[in-house]
Structure 1
Amino acid sequence: MPNLPKLDILVIAPHPDDAELGMGGAILKFKAQDKKVGVLDLTSGEPTPHGSLGLRAAETAKATDILGLDWRENLGLPNRSLQATLEAREKLAGVIRQQRPRWLFAPYWVDAHPDHTAATELVDAARFWAKLSKTDMPAEPFHPERIYNYYCVHLKMNPQPAFILDISDEWEQKLAAIAAYESQFITGRPTNPSFLDQLRDEAAYWGKSIGTKYGEPFACREPLGLSSMSELV
């Protein structure tokens, strides 16, 4: 991946569509603040019951346009058997060193989907490796300030997030980005309620908990620091 742009935010997703599901609203907020945002999908996400490599690529391109991403690529790791191997760690660390994002976003570390938990383990390790000297990895050593974790889980759970982001203004555009993955979330899915209806209800639940219409929850393994209380809702 030559000539990678320098990013403020790098979202790392196990599969195409996870970034949209977990933090599409946050991405749109970052873009409205003129932040440079990229998404690195670790796998193609295929095979799936109603998808194909070509269809998933077209859906990903559509969602990318809706979000207005500055950069999106696929690391080409194996779907359904993603592992935090040394080879995968080096590939991801190389991308981090070249793009030099301030913040990384990864899936929440508790999940039933093995690809998701492997992705989080991989991001943690690659962040550390990205700062190593005397290696064959590209670019200069770099260590992102923070990893935040978005929720895109396959467990029926009631998480206790570190914070909830108000995405009331971004909800409709986030929903459009998710709906771009028609093969995953519309084709062959129940319609009453639909998957998209359930997502809306979840976003409304998180919004209600902070007194807004819609919200997105996030976790972080490290303490959060505030320079002022003025942005709290």
Structure 2
Amino acid sequence: MLDALVIAPHPDDAELGCAGGILRMQAEGLKVGVLDLTSGEPTPHGSPALRKQETAAATEILGLAWRENLGLPNRSLEPTLENRAKLAGVIRQTRPRWLFAPYWVDAHPDHTAATKLVDDARFWAKLSNTDMPGEPHHPERIYNYYCVHLKMAPQPSFVLDISEHWEKKLASIRAYESQFITGRPAQPFSFIEKLRDEASYWGKTIGVAYGEPYAAREPLGLTGFGGLL
């Protein structure tokens, strides 16, 4: 059983979008899992075997309690009824309190399909009189992380302080060397440097070193103001 299930269209999306959140939740004693929907391959610089190795390395760096792959097709991910049932079955078996999904606006069709699939599977997971595995379960919230291919200026619902966990987040991203280091064309500023600048910007918005933005379609509830920065 998980406290939080991060659902990623491809291996590396969870690391890019919410590795800081994963690490912070685990530091607070929560059990976090990641479900990659596809293998992420083919890509110009990777291979299925290499991507598995890189994913295993990133998983070890993050210290994840649980990580699986749903085996759906890369580049043609669709929120079909069959895929909805598969994902709902995982939700019913892992029983997370929270789901984390990609932001719902993106240029990458796999990302928007993944978000639609998560929304639909969350509803289906609570159904009774079904042949899906596990008992009915309805996660309390869906939080959306930013890992977008669209050039946009996000307006997040909240920004999480990940200052203590930034270096380990960065290490988990570096584990995908074929995607973010050797496979990137030479530029004045590297992809990794841009990620650091972005995290620093979000940290500045809340008065800390590094931050990670999140969105939520449903209102967020507070029991008090003690946890606000």
TM-score range normalised by the length of the shorter chain: over 0.9
Number of residue pairs the alignment of both structures matches: 228
Runs (4+) of structure 1 exceeding 3 A deviation are none
Q: Deviations over 1:138-160 (max 9, x none)?
A: 11100000000000000111111
Q: Distance in 1 between matches of 2:117 and 2:228?
A: 32
Q: Distance in 2 between matches of 1:211 and 1:59?
A: 33
List gaps (5 residues or longer) in structure 1. Answer: 1-5
Report the secondary structure of 2:163's partner residue. coil
Pairing partner for 2:111 from 112, 116, 120: 116
The offset of 1:220, in angstroms, is 0.3
Q: Distance in 2 between matches of 1:66 and 1:140?
A: 32
Question: For residue 87 of structure 1, what is the aligned residue in structure 2?
Answer: 82
Q: Distance in 1 between matches of 2:115 and 2:69?
A: 16
Q: Distance in 2 between matches of 1:118 and 1:41?
A: 13
Amino acid at match of 1:45: G
Pairing partner for 1:219 from 215, 218, 222: 215
Q: Distance in 2 between matches of 1:30 and 1:43?
A: 24
Question: For residue 13 of structure 2, what is the aligned residue in structure 1?
Answer: 18
Pairing partner for 1:141 from 136, 142, 156: 136
Amino acid at match of 2:5: L
Identity of aligned residues (%): 76
Q: Distance in 1 between matches of 2:201 and 2:149?
A: 18
Is 1:155 the counterpart of 2:150? The answer is yes
CA RMSD of aligned residues (A): 0.6
Amino acid at match of 2:208: T
Question: For residue 33 of structure 2, what is the aligned residue in structure 1?
Answer: 38
Is 1:187 the counterpart of 2:182? The answer is yes
Q: Distance in 2 between matches of 1:115 and 1:35?
A: 28
Equivalent residues of 2:177, 2:183 under 8 A apart: no
Q: Distance in 2 between matches of 1:188 and 1:18?
A: 16
List gaps (5 residues or longer) in structure 2. Answer: none
Question: For residue 201 of structure 1, what is the aligned residue in structure 2?
Answer: 197
